Structure 1
Amino acid sequence: MPQLDVDGARLTYDDEGPRDTEEVPLVLVHGWTADRHRWDHQMEHFRPRRRVIRLDLRGHGESTGAGARTIEELAQDVVALLDHLRVDRCVLVGHSMGGMICQTIALTHPGRVERMVLVNSIGRMTYSRGRGLLMAASTLVPFKLFVAANIQRAFAPGFPREEVRAYIRASANTPREVVMTLYSAMRAFDVLDRVAEIRVPTLMVHGYYDVQLPVRQMLRMAKAYPDAVIRILDAGHELPVEKPAELTKAIDWFLAR
């Protein structure tokens, strides 16, 4: 289990797959309160023929360190890992907040990105009234209850309850300071007016039942992208675990395009 010390954090990551291939590495970036194991299906599928890198963001999973104050700081962590691994160019794949990190890297280090896949992600945070009320109430309810409410609504109706509970328990292990600091970071995130600068081919995969970051917000962003392909799947906000095989199939198709 390799680790890298970066600016007060110790990042845990996986770096697997062949090096003697012409294919650039895949870099998988998870979302808020998640960890690198959100990408287990994609890791298993791609690593026999392509180098695949994934990490636990600072304060998540098996990585240490306080929460970053901005999405840009998280992006700097990912770039530091790429530098450490001597990866000059890659395909970025990001889920939710991870997609915000990927967009930031594509804007600040465009030469490092060959393609990009955004999963349930957007370019500007716009909260529904219900989500806004939930976040406003976060200081008035027990932290674990707040996390449970957020994770519960991330899944489409009908997703197995026991699996939802397991993800709630995992998310509740993320320190409160990290969760709330990064909520503020996401709330401040806004690159919508700059996404036209992102010139790399981009796949946007979204869940039809995503109430956290609704499809209409993704479509608003997609209109500005010079080279974007859209896939809508029958799922909620947690596509990597709700529809892992379908997501992998979409990524596979996009990489072969």
Structure 2
Amino acid sequence: MPQLEVDGAALTYDDEGPRDAAEVPLVFIHGWTANRHRWDHQVAHFGEQRRVIRLDLRGHGESGGAGVRTIEELATDVVALLDHLKIDRFVPIGHSMGGMIAQTLALTHPERVERLVLVNSISRMTYSRGRGLLMGASTLVPFKLFVATNIQRAFAPGYPREEIRSYIRSSADTPREVVMTLYGAMRAFDVLDRVGEIRVPTLLVHGYHDIQLPLKQMLRMATGYPDAVIRIIDAGHELPVEKPAELTTALDGFLTGRP
């Protein structure tokens, strides 16, 4: 289990698959309060064919560190890891907050991004005034209740309750400072007016039942992308674990040019 020290944080990562593959590496970036194992199904599949990188973001999973304040700072960590591994061009694949990081990478390092994949992610979180007040008030409840409520509603109706409880426990292990600070960072993230600058082929995959980052917000974002393909899957916000095989199929088709 390799680690890289970046600005006082030991970042845990996996580097798998053939180094001599013709295709550029895939870089999987997890979401808020999650960890790199959200991508187990996808890494097992693609790691047989090409180099795949995944990491626990700062303060998440088995990575140390805190003090991160913005999505841009998390993107800087990803770049530091790729530089360490001597990877120039790559395909960022980001889920939720990880998709915000992926968009940041495409905007700040366009020469290095070959394609882009966003899973259950958006470019700007938009809410009615009432919904915004409710979200603000939710931060005042006890921390474990705050986490449990947010993780519970991330899954589509009918997903096994015991599995949801295991994800709640895992998320609650993320340091409170990291959880709350990055909750604010996601709400502040806004590149909606810049997505037209991302000119690489882009796949937007979304769960139909996603109420965390609603489908209509993704579709609004999609209109700004010059070269985007959209895939809608019958799932909630946690596509990588709710419908892993369907997500992997969508990624495979996009990466190989198959419909």
Counterpart-to-counterpart distance in 2, 1:2 and 1:134: 41
Counterpart-to-counterpart distance in 1, 2:56 and 2:71: 15
Does residue 153 of structure 2 align to residue 153 of structure 1? yes
Q: Report sequence identity in percent.
A: 82
Does residue 51 of structure 2 align to residue 51 of structure 1? yes
1:113 match: secondary structure: coil
Does residue 153 of structure 2 align to residue 167 of structure 1? no
Map of 2:202 onto structure 1: 202
Map of 1:90 onto structure 2: 90
Map of 1:65 onto structure 2: 65
Q: What amino acid is the match of 1:194?
A: R
Does residue 11 of structure 2 align to residue 11 of structure 1? yes
- TM-score, normalising length: structure 2: 0.97
Counterpart-to-counterpart distance in 2, 1:216 and 1:129: 17
Matched ranges for 1:104-183 at <5 A: 104-127=104-127, 132-183=132-183
Query: Are the aligned partners of 1:131 and 1:212 in contact in 2 as well (CA < 8 Å)?
Result: no
1:135 match: secondary structure: helix
Q: 1:237 deviation in Å?
A: 0.4
Counterpart-to-counterpart distance in 1, 2:241 and 2:128: 24
Q: 1:136 deviation in Å?
A: 2.1
Deviating more after overlay: 53-62 vs 119-128: 119-128
Does residue 24 of structure 2 align to residue 24 of structure 1? yes
Counterpart-to-counterpart distance in 2, 1:147 and 1:102: 24
Q: 1:174 deviation in Å?
A: 0.5
5+ residue gaps, structure 2: none
Does residue 76 of structure 2 align to residue 76 of structure 1? yes
Distance 1:57-1:145 versus aligned 2 partners, 3 A rule? same
Counterpart-to-counterpart distance in 1, 2:185 and 2:142: 21
Q: What amino acid is the match of 1:144?
A: K
Q: Deviations over 1:159-216 (max 9, x none)?
A: 0101100000000000110001101111110000000000110000000000000011
Deviating more after overlay: 123-132 vs 102-111: 123-132
Q: 1:142 deviation in Å?
A: 1.4
- TM-score, normalising length: structure 1: 0.97
Counterpart-to-counterpart distance in 2, 1:190 and 1:14: 30
Q: What amino acid is the match of 1:107?
A: L
Counterpart-to-counterpart distance in 2, 1:80 and 1:134: 37
Counterpart-to-counterpart distance in 1, 2:178 and 2:74: 12
Map of 2:232 onto structure 1: 232
Distance 1:209-1:128 versus aligned 2 partners, 3 A rule? farther
Distance 1:131-1:156 versus aligned 2 partners, 3 A rule? farther
CA RMSD of aligned residues (A): 1.2
Distance 1:35-1:46 versus aligned 2 partners, 3 A rule? same
